[in-house]
Structure 1
Amino acid sequence: MAKTLTQEFTKGLWAEIPPFRLVLGLCPTLAITNTVENAYGMGIAVTFVLTFSNIMISAMRKIIPPKVRIVAFIVAIATFVCVVELVMQAYTYSLFMKLGIYIPLIVVNCIIMGRAEAFASRYGIMRSMLDGLGLGIGYTLALSTLATFREIIATGSITLYEKPIAVLGASFEPFKFLVAAPGAFICLGLMLGIMNILGKK
């Protein structure tokens, strides 16, 4: 049975939330969730690109030749990634520098490419827009949740607008390894386990 428009949007918030359910887009998930600020910035960037690339690809789906569809998808996605880069350089340059190579790598993000191929190229504009928006918001929530846990346990504070906000007391002994790559894997594994437990209830 076809999903309603509401279901198309909400599926990305839980049932298909990346990276906890689809297990896609793990490179930036592991690399940039050392601070909440980075996670939030990357989430918004991916949401923008995912939503608008879905709209463009859906609108052009009937005129894109099947043999060159992947190239067309990449061009469409890259267009919006360029917009994100220019806006971030103009208004949030420090965040842009922190995210570094992971902004241009949005072009080949598995989540965005996957939705272009599996959804936007097959469904109408409204459904594709809601699909992209829902998964983008879900991705932002996933990154922010993971980053919040990592940053609080590793530093005892949360960084927003380049200002650390103390969460735990001065007596707290931080687990600094959680901001490193091994800590990212451990935290992601814990989150995946929690999601699997909650999903079975």
Structure 2
Amino acid sequence: MSVNLAIIYYSSTGTVHSLAEAAAEGAEKAGAEVRLRKAAETAPAEAIGARPEWARHLEETARVAEAVHDDLTWADAVLFGTPTRFGNPAGQLRAFIDSTGPLWFRGGLADKVYSAFTASNTAHGGQESTLLALANTFYHWGGIIVPPGYTDPVQFRTGNPYGTSHVTADGSPGEDVLQAARHQARRVVETAARLKAGRAAV
């Protein structure tokens, strides 16, 4: 059964964007229709301009559409991606999530499959707490949380059962991390397909 997957992410310098693209690739190979969407940039121009890689990434991803509530309504499953900010999701992604109150109030976010991925500058930079913080939102939405767990050998090499994560100090995401993102997306799509088929059979 066909699944609609929205991948909604924020990335300042490109790491999380790379993970989002890998997730989209994995989801499409699993048969999903994918919307890749970014959270709107809210940082002041002077902050962006102070980091050439940030300004460059913003320009390079100008073609990526910004997330809107319709992306959540359309989706059977949603993957959120964010860098960690002091152990929490980035403010840009939170701003989008915090705008969804009316949709939540109408029950429009319930019974969908949710999962998340992240990156931090250091190995102990709050990756797991960031993913758990996003899960708190999914609980409130009445979502069905699907983590990668240790359901593929790549998870034993990347080491995060909560969601794909990467340490940016190690450089760009390597093949193991990208494969973990593909696996996580595939698992989300396959779970959402089973749920959708089961509901259709009732």
TM-score with structure 2 setting the length: 0.31
Q: Rg: which structure is higher? A: 1
Choose between structure 1 and 2 for higher RCO, CA contacts under 8 A separated by at least 6 residues.
1
TM-score with structure 1 setting the length: 0.31
- Normalized per residue, the structure richer in helix is 1
